[in-house]
Amino acid sequence: MPLVSPAGRGRRGPQTPHDARPLGVMLLPRRLEDFALRSQAADLMRAPGIVVVEPARVSYEAYLRLPTGVGDGIAAIQARRLPLPGVPRLVIIFGPLQYPLARALLSMHPGCELWYVPVAAPRERSRGRRERVEELHLAAGARAALDFDVDALMAEDAFPASGWARVEGLGIESGRLGSERPDIIGP
């Protein structure tokens, strides 16, 4: 599972045939050790076709203090700089504050799906910031091809089997279906 940083390594060069493999991109909202859904995220991280993007040095919450256009511009720059080893077919976000970066990735890769896990963002004191979080939540929910119930996910120790089937349906290598996973019964 490749781990990339949103800061990236500068502009990407021309794509090679290897770069055409389908990817799932999981945006971690914080360090894995501090994440409430860490076992589900860790399960996804084991898939060869899932790339994990660590949180940037500047937190997602910090972007709420910036004017909307500035934050969106930074997200677009981050998306362009991500050194992805393939073509995203899926972006998974865990909360509304990740939506600007996800939206930038989706705009660069037509046909890419958004999966939304609406983990609550920390409550903001400012009314304007609370409204911005709510706008991002509604936009992410409207754009998502699949959204998850956080409580149902937390009750599981791993990513749900139905999600793995959809990952494979998008052409993303999971390394799981039809192999050693006892929770999925083959044909």
pLDDT of residue 35: 86
Residue spans per domain, the chain? 3-7+21-169
> Considering only 4-13, 69-78, 115-124, 166-175, which range has the smallest mean pLDDT?
4-13
Q: Three-state secondary structure along the chain?
A: CCEECCCECECCCCCCHHHHCEEEEEECCCCHHHCCCHHHHHHHHCCCCEEEECCCCCCCHHHHHCCHHHHHHHHHHHHHHCCCCCEEEEEEECCHHHHHHHHHHHHHCCCCEEEECCCCCCCCCCHHHHHHHHHHHHHHHHHCCEECCHHHHHHCCCCCHHHHHHHHHCCCCCCCCCCCCCCCCCC
This prediction has a pTM of 0.82
> pLDDT per residue over 122-178, tens digit each?
777 788 888 999 999 999 999 999 999 888 888 888 888 888 889 999 999 988 755
**100 vs 56 pLDDT, higher one:** 100
Q: Given this model, what pLDDT does residue 16 score?
A: 46
* 112 pLDDT tier (thresholds 50, 70, 90): very high
- pLDDT confidence tier of residue 65, bands split at 50, 70 and 90: confident
Residue 152 is predicted with a pLDDT of: 87
Q: What is the mean pLDDT of residues 113-129?
A: 85
Q: What is the pLDDT of residue 11?
A: 38
Q: Identify the residue with better confidence: 69 or 184.
A: 69
3-7+21-169 belongs to which CATH class? alpha beta
> What are 39-50's pLDDT values in tens digits?
889 999 989 999
Residue 17: per-residue pLDDT: 47
